């Protein structure tokens, strides 16, 4: 399965290169392969390109969205970031690194969910955080 088969995200804001596994409504794991051509490396930081921590958290959230959207109960829905707690960054991530991402959903209802995510490089923890999702209809009504 490709990330694009489930996620609404597209380049340049799709941060999942490969879906490793999905247990619908429960867990997902994915990889983000950073080759150095990504748009943010040029300015963050010249001479020492570093993946911004907030984008690591977004990659974790996108992996959580895979778990949600793979569940048939959420067909036609869109999980939006509702909150981020306890984010900790343990190592820098740069060009050539492969970010392994794992998310487990702790609670999931018709309108919201909570999950825990981790991202690592070569088995070394890079980022961990707790996520809150709000689930909305994927198609927004047009303003009148």
Residue 47's Cβ-count burial label (10 Å; 0-12, 13-18, 19+) is exposed
Contact by Cβ (8 Å): 55, 48: no
| Stretch (H or E) spanning 69 | helix 53-69
Chain position carrying tokens 């970031």:
81
Residue of 9, 26, 31, 44 with catalytic role? 44
Q: How far is CA 35 from the centre of its chain?
A: 18
Answer whether the bond into residue 12 is a cis peptide, omega within 30°.
yes
How many CB atoms within 10 Å of residue 80?
13
**Is 9 a catalytic site residue?**
no
Contact by Cβ (8 Å): 130, 85: yes
Known catalytic residues are 44
């Amino acid at each position: 399965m490709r990330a694009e088969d489930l996620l609404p995200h597209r380049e340049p804001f799709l941060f999942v290169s490969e879906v490793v596994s999905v247990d619908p409504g429960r867990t997902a794991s994915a990889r983000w392969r950073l080759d150095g051509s990504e748009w943010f490396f040029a300015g963050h930081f010249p001479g020492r390109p570093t993946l911004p921590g907030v984008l690591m958290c977004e990659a974790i959230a996108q992996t959580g969205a895979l778990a949600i959207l793979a569940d048939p109960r959420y067909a036609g829905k869109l999980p939006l970031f509702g909150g981020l707690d306890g984010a900790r960054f343990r190592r820098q991530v740069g060009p050539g690194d492969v970010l392994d991402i794992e998310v487990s959903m702790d609670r999931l209802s018709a309108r919201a969910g909570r999950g825990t995510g981790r991202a690592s490089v070569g088995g070394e923890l890079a980022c961990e955080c707790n996520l809150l999702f709000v689930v909305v209809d994927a198609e927004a009504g047009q303003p009148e």
